[in-house]
Structure 1
Amino acid sequence: MRLLLAEDEKELSNALVVILKHSNYSVDAVYNGQDALDYITNGDYDGVVLDIMMPKMDGITVLRKVRESGNSVPVLLLTAKSEIDDRVTGLDSGADDYLTKPFATKELLARIRAMTRRKGENTGSLLKCGNITLNRSTFEVSSPKATLRLANKEFQMLEMLMSNEGMIISTERFMEKIWGYDTETNQNVVWVYVSYLRKKLAALDANVAIKAVRNRGYALEAVND
């Protein structure tokens, strides 16, 4: 799951990035409102954590522009302002939730989970394909034979494949969604993680497999008996 964190206090931002990545999120961090708007406009995020008081463009203005463009990405406003009027302004501008500083890390993570869960509540926390089940809450993939916990990017990649069973996902799409559209990471990393996942699916005796489609990408398909 990919998040954008827009927070101008760099020490706080760095700490939050570590916490979020440890919780199996992929995170892009920006430090001003204009960059936040650009990233949201050009990226593909499952949620945004948006500070209100930022240079170049405040968070409320960013939020309004995002909603005016028709983008419904879930947004959690993160700010030192705690007055009721500020909360109302934020929510009326299209925010999904509002959290004031200082805050407990557990509460932030719980609010992000709730915010992103509402976006995909039609699919729930479990994804099933063939004889395997992916638990979005525990980051575990299981079959009748065993249960394995996935690393961050393994989980995100398998979630994309299972959510689009039978559909080809390009290497570029994996890179944009999981590593970020401005990443400098070599695209060969996608093949590396596909290899990791294939070994885990084999260990589970899964009746689905990740198929490579030459020059197009990868798809999760049923295994022929």
Structure 2
Amino acid sequence: MNILLAEDDVRLGKLVSHLLENEYHRVDWVKNGKDAYDHARIFPYDLIILDWMLPGENGQSVCKRLREKGNQSGILFVTARDANEDIISGLDSGADDYIIKPFEFNELLARIRAISRRKEKPLEEVISIGNFSLNLNSHVLKRKDSVIDLTKKEYQFLEIVMRNHNQVITREVLFERLWGYETEVSENALDALVKLVRKKIDLPGEPSFVQNVRGIGYKVRRFDV
């Protein structure tokens, strides 16, 4: 699942991002209302976890503006404000649910699952391209009926390129989404990761499932329908 986390508390933001990524979700973390709104307008997130008291523009305002623009992502408010009128106000601004700080991580996961079930358009569970199918819930890749074992980073890379199979994903976007901006990982790590993925999923004599677009990034091989 692609998740946008808007949380200005650095300790909490790092913790929630880490725990969600361990559950195989892909997380973008921002720390203010403007960045939350801008990211949500550009990228197709399945879920936005929105702190109420964000610097600049508060979460309620961000939520309301996104809904006015037709954004259909699931929105979960995270707030320390537990007064009944605040909860009602937050839900009326367009949020799907709310969770009160402090919270247990298992409760956060349960609310994420509940939002997923309630959405009119259920979150995509399986992406099928050619002979490959990627299950977004079990994180299993299959070629026809054969399971291909993946590491977490290999799965995350394939999820990104398969979700966006009609376009080239730039190296910069892939690197940021896999390792983040603040990392000491070498730029060569992306090429090494792609090499490992190809070794696992490609068959001898066939074009690679993941194709390089020289100087730009990577895309999924086009299959004739």
CA distance in 2, matches of 1:217, 1:120: 30
Give the alignment of 1:73-152 within 5 angstroms.
73-115=73-115, 118=119, 121=122, 124-144=124-144, 146-152=146-152
* Deviation of 1:152 (Å): 3.4
Scaled by the length of structure 2, the TM-score of the pair is 0.76
**Residue matched to 1:169:** 169
Corresponding residue pairs, total: 221
CA distance in 1, matches of 2:38, 2:130: 39
CA distance in 2, matches of 1:74, 1:129: 26
CA distance in 2, matches of 1:186, 1:40: 28
* Deviation of 1:188 (Å): 4.1
Q: Which runs of 5+ in 1 are unaligned?
A: none
Structure 1's 129 and 102: CA in aligned 2 closer, same or farther, altered over 3 A? Answer: same
2:212–2:218 Cα contact (<8 Å) kept: yes
What SS does the corresponding residue of 1:81 show, helix, strand or coil? Answer: coil
CA distance in 1, matches of 2:96, 2:142: 32
Q: Deviations over 1:157-191 (max 9, x none)?
A: 212333344644333443465556x6676654432
Q: Deviations over 1:25-53 (max 9, x none)?
A: 23333333344334445555442211112
CA distance in 2, matches of 1:143, 1:130: 9
What SS does the corresponding residue of 1:72 show, helix, strand or coil? Answer: coil
1:24–1:153 Cα contact (<8 Å) kept: no
Amino acid at match of 1:47: L
**Residue matched to 1:10:** 10
* Deviation of 1:78 (Å): 0.8
* Deviation of 1:200 (Å): 1.8
Higher relative contact order (CA 8 A, sep 6+): 1
**Residue matched to 2:212:** 212
1:207–1:222 Cα contact (<8 Å) kept: no
Structure 1's 218 and 15: CA in aligned 2 closer, same or farther, altered over 3 A? Answer: closer
CA distance in 1, matches of 2:196, 2:120: 29
Q: Deviations over 1:60-112 (max 9, x none)?
A: 12222333344333321011223333222112211122222232212212333
What SS does the corresponding residue of 1:154 show, helix, strand or coil? Answer: helix
What SS does the corresponding residue of 2:209 show, helix, strand or coil? Answer: strand
Structure 1's 216 and 16: CA in aligned 2 closer, same or farther, altered over 3 A? Answer: closer
CA distance in 1, matches of 2:18, 2:115: 20
CA distance in 1, matches of 2:46, 2:164: 16
Q: Which runs of 5+ in 2 are unaligned?
A: none
* Deviation of 1:149 (Å): 4.2
Counterpart check, 1:50 vs 2:50: yes
Structure 1's 199 and 119: CA in aligned 2 closer, same or farther, altered over 3 A? Answer: farther
